[in-house]
């Protein structure tokens, strides 16, 4: 695949301030999109939005997802007895630690995208992927719909799960005003070239007092501080914007939402930190770790969970819940 065509964005999307280089010459080690990529950070200390500069042009963005994990069939290639024992041992230890530390409660809340205390109604999941969240919430009594830009994913969800899923950008679907009780965007906002416009459209189709839930990588996380340019949350060239609690709150308020709750979670830390370690090793031309339990890497997720008691802003994922 040839390199993606790009366009320069020297100024911050959110406040218009010039940016400075945060990282340069980044590579896509996990999904092998060609090219080297740069991230800028806003020079406004009250903003500090991070963005890809230059960004792929909108027409070329689909080419960044050809080998993406949500777009291809996953296959298990390590089938040795030792590998299976390793995974079984890891699962037992993980479940034990999740229970004794309280992370199991956090994981359960995250699985519901923090909607467990809301009365079920009409729910839209923007960027629904394989539809597993739609199935999960349907089983909890919600009337669910989804959107996604991947034709294969949409067709699979329609045929195999018999759920209502629309192909394309949210604005092109033309939902009526005040249609949904809740809208969720999990690891979506960072992929969008015009995130403010997307949130404005979400607000239009939410009912009065409807709930918006955003989940995105947290630039203020412990994992980013530890892995720096190898942190999984950066993910160039697919992640166009990267947020911290302050600037994501500002973006959401600009779209007209109120009653914001902004917090972070370590529920997805095991996956993000493991992939960050894989990126680090690949950048050094080393093989990824084959036996997760035999390393101490997975303990980092529980360290983060423990450390969040004194530093609640350092979870791997940033969550904003807001009302229309």
Res. 76 pLDDT band, cuts 50 70 90: very low
pLDDT score of 55: 98
Tens of pLDDT, residue by residue over 126-163, are: 999 999 999 999 999 999 999 998 888 898 899 889 99
DSSP character string of 160-212: II--EEEES-HHHH-PPSS-EEEEEEES-GGG-S-HHHHHHHHHHHEEEEEEE
pLDDT of 174-196, one tens digit each?
Answer: 999 999 999 999 999 999 999 99
User: Any residues with CB less than 8 A from the CB of 19 and at least 6 apart, and which?
Assistant: 10, 11, 12, 40, 41, 42, 43, 51, 53
Long-range contacts, 103-106 (Cβ 8 Å, 24+): 103/266, 103/267, 103/302, 103/305, 106/265, 106/266, 106/267, 106/305
Q: What is the pLDDT of residues 96-120, one digit of tens each?
A: 665 666 666 677 778 889 898 899 9
Domains of the chain: 6-323 (3.40.50.150)
24 compared with 287, residue with greater pLDDT: 24
Mean pLDDT of the chain: 89
**Percentage of residues in the chain with pLDDT exceeding 70?**
85
pLDDT for residue 268 is more than 80: yes
Using one digit for the tens of pLDDT, what is the confidence trace for 52-71?
Answer: 999 999 999 989 988 776 55
Residue 79 pLDDT > 50 = no
């Amino acid at each position: 695949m040839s390199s993606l065509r790009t366009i320069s964005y020297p100024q911050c999307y959110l406040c218009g301030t010039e940016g400075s280089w945060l990282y340069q010459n980044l590579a896509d080690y996990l999904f092998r999109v060609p090219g080297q990529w740069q991230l800028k950070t806003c020079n406004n200390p009250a903003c500090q939005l991070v963005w890809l500069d230059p960004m792929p042009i909108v027409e070329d963005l689909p080419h960044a997802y050809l080998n993406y994990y949500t777009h291809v069939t996953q296959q298990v290639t390590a089938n040795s007895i030792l590998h299976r024992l390793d995974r079984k041992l890891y699962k037992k230890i993980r479940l034990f630690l999740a229970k004794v530390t309280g992370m199991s409660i956090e994981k359960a809340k995250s699985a519901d995208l923090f909607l467990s205390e809301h009365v079920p109604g009409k729910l839209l999941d923007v960027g629904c992927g394989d539809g597993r969240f739609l199935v999960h919430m349907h089983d909890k009594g919600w009337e669910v719909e989804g959107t996604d830009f991947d034709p294969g994913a949409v067709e699979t969800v329609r045929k195999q799960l018999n759920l209502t899923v629309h192909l394309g950008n949210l604005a092109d679907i033309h939902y009526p005003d005040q249609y949904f009780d809740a809208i969720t965007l999990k690891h979506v906002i960072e992929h969008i070239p015009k995130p403010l416009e997307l949130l404005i459209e979400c607000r239009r189709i939410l009912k009065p007092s409807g709930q918006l839930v955003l989940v995105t990588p947290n630039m203020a996380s412990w994992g980013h501080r530890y892995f720096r340019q190898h942190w999984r949350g950066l993910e160039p060239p697919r992640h166009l914007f990267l947020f911290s609690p302050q600037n994501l709150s500002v973006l959401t308020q600009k779209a007209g939402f109120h009653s914001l709750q902004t917090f972070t979670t370590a529920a997805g830390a095991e996956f993000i930190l493991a992939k960050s370690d894989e990126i680090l090793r690949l950048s050094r031309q080393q093989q990824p770790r084959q036996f997760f339990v035999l390393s101490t890497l997975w303990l980092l997720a529980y360290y983060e969970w423990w450390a969040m008691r004194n530093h609640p802003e350092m979870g791997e994922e940033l969550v904003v819940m807001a009302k229309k």
